[in-house]
Amino acid sequence: MTEVAADTVPCRLCTTLVARDATVCPSCGVKDPWIPNEPSINPRVIRLAMWGGGIVFVGLLLFASGLMMFGPRAEQADERDHRPPGTASEAHDSR
């Protein structure tokens, strides 16, 4: 049986065994032949960010649906006029 030393890992390109602290693979010459499998960010932080984003998204959806259901509505075309009431009535009287 072949025993693998604890401080050697396979190269990511040519799969030759190299030391963990090697900066270049002696066989193929690739830089950083070993990349750790450990995540760079704590998984709890990622999970917290995902839950927080989901809660904010659901809150925005509820707010938007509330505005659409209970917001002001224009029922007739003349109610959509945004001019002050005094100017709108004067325009109709001048004809």
Q: Which residue has the higher pLDDT, 37 or 89?
A: 37
Residue 76 scores a pLDDT above 60: no
Number of domains in the chain: 2
Tell me the mean pLDDT in the region 69-91.
65
What per-residue confidence (pLDDT) applies to 1?
A: 47
| Dist CA 20 CA 76 (whole Å) | 75
| Dist CA 85 CA 74 (whole Å) | 16
Is residue 79 in some structural domain? Answer: no
**What is the pTM for the complete model shown?**
0.42
Full residue range of the structural domain in which residue 55 is found: 39-69
What is the amino acid identity at position 92? H
Tell me the mean pLDDT in the region 39-64.
92
Do 24 and 52 reside in the same domain of the chain? no
Do 12 and 1 reside in the same domain of the chain? yes
Q: Which residue has the higher pLDDT, 38 or 40?
A: 40
| Dist CA 8 CA 16 (whole Å) | 10
Do 5 and 26 reside in the same domain of the chain? yes
Do 22 and 48 reside in the same domain of the chain? no
Do 21 and 50 reside in the same domain of the chain? no
Taking the CA of residue 15 as centre, how many other CA atoms within 13 Å lie in the half-sphere pointing to its CB? Answer: 0
Residue 74 scores a pLDDT above 70: no
Is residue 21 in some structural domain? Answer: yes
